[in-house]
Structure 1
């Protein structure tokens, strides 16, 4: 009889373990609260870090392209208009004391046509041709490119040309200055 009780107790324990270890029944559906954030877009301009326009003699001109300038408008605005402008510092050479200078007003800028655009609206170069070239300034921004109308995002790229009207009294040396593009 004792043997039967032990077997019966063992069977009951095994059944209880099996009952406790049975897999849970899954719910037929479940939900996940999900969020995401849309950030405000930006209006940005990117220009080359450096450019070498070449060489020239006093009284002559030095002509060279600056490299691609790109405006990217990701503001997704109902009116995606913007104006890109350009200014320059005084260019100077460190070979003399005080340094010799070429003023920004002695350097003409022309944007030329767009090399690439995306989006809707009207893209307009500030100076379409070499005949439209205008002098730079350290104070008064020169319009380089504009975008009017359109909605949503857009981009425009151009490769501006600079024409340095080298003053007749310029001394030999490498002249360095900064050309700054801005967009608003």
Structure 2
């Protein structure tokens, strides 16, 4: 018992002298400041690499769909609005003479309704149906699809249709051109 009493007396003396710390007093509540970050991504558009619209003859219309066009907005923005536009080159075959060229303005585009959407806000096709189809242009972008308002991330997909109005004086051949979708 003598050893225990000596330890207790010795510990009390060290505590009184400030050589050892007193145990922390427990509090009934405790606060922890916590932080985290939500990272902003990018605004992107994906399109099919190729599309074959089929066949036709002079003075006819060749109609076909391009395949899924998708805008993905991962900007995590307060205003998640965007506009997708489309332009086209002229389509040519052979050496691209007048009778071997179909002007972009002779190709009508209509986006149709969205095939899929995510997020909030208002998704609006540029041309909801065939009756609203509009000619493409080499320099002036045509609105393909828009998203207005909403917050955070969103996406929209659509499968646009092209209608090639083949002039009567065009020659036979495989015509190629480039349709370009952009988003901002």
- Structure 2: where are the runs of 5+ without partners? 1-35
Residue of structure 2 in register with 1:139 after alignment = 139
Residue of structure 1 in register with 2:120 after alignment = 120
Shift of the 97–42 alpha-carbon distance from structure 1 to 2, 3 Å rule, reads: closer
SS at match of 1:173: coil
Residue of structure 1 in register with 2:71 after alignment = 71
State the 1:97 CA deviation.
6.5
State the 1:41 CA deviation.
1.1
SS at match of 2:56: coil
State the 1:98 CA deviation.
4.1
Give a deviation string over 1:136-184, Cα, whole Å, max 9, x none: 0001000000000000000000000000000110000000000000000
Give a deviation string over 1:31-59, Cα, whole Å, max 9, x none: xxxxx976431000000000000001100
Distance 2:114 2:89 in 1: 25
Q: How many residue pairs were aligned? A: 149
Give the TM-score normalised by structure 1: 0.78
Backbone CA RMSD of aligned residues: 1.7
- Structure 1: where are the runs of 5+ without partners? 1-35
Q: 1:9-24 alignment to 2 at 5 Å?
A: none
Distance 2:111 2:40 in 1: 29
Distance 1:39 1:90 in 2: 41
Give the TM-score normalised by structure 2: 0.78
Distance 2:177 2:164 in 1: 12
SS at match of 2:105: helix
